[in-house]
């Protein structure tokens, strides 16, 4: 499981919730959106602040600092002041455990 980071037990990540982990120096947030798991870099592309802690509404997360919004399922920007998408990462479920990794450098 090279590069994969354990996030939590699947049962610990309910719909509408998220968990934070680090893959090396990369902060990653793993979200449960209606039973599907998605992982994004936990960094707003507008100013580098954490995304988590902001409002999660369905498939969207709003940066708590300046209000930029991103699609949790794709990382796409939905609202300025951000103009660049957030990095999206793979998620896998193995033996009831959720894993993610920063695959940008593979």
Break the chain into its structural domains and give their ranges: 5-88
Helix H or strand E segment including 26: strand 26-33
The top-level CATH class assigned to 5-88 is mainly beta
Is residue 64 a contact partner of residue 53, using CB atoms and an 8 Å limit?
yes
Q: What is the pTM of this model?
A: 0.93
% of residues, the chain, pLDDT over 70: 96
Query: In angstroms, what is the C-alpha Rg of the chain?
Result: 13
User: Does the pLDDT of residue 44 top 70, yes or no?
Assistant: yes
pLDDT value for 1: 42
pLDDT, tens digit (0-9, with 9 covering 90-100), for 54-72: 999 999 999 999 999 999 9
Mean pLDDT of the chain: 94
């Amino acid at each position: 499981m090279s590069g994969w980071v354990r996030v939590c037990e699947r049962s610990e990540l309910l719909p509408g919730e998220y968990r934070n982990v680090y893959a090396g120096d990369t902060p990653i947030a793993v979200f449960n959106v209606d039973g599907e798991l998605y992982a994004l870099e936990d960094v707003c592309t507008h100013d580098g602040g954490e995304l988590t802690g902001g409002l999660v509404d369905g498939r969207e997360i709003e940066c708590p600092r300046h209000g930029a919004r991103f699609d949790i399922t794709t990382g796409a920007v939905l609202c300025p002041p951000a103009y660049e998408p957030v990095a999206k990462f793979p998620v896998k479920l193995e033996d009831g455990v959720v894993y993610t990794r920063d695959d940008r450098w593979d």
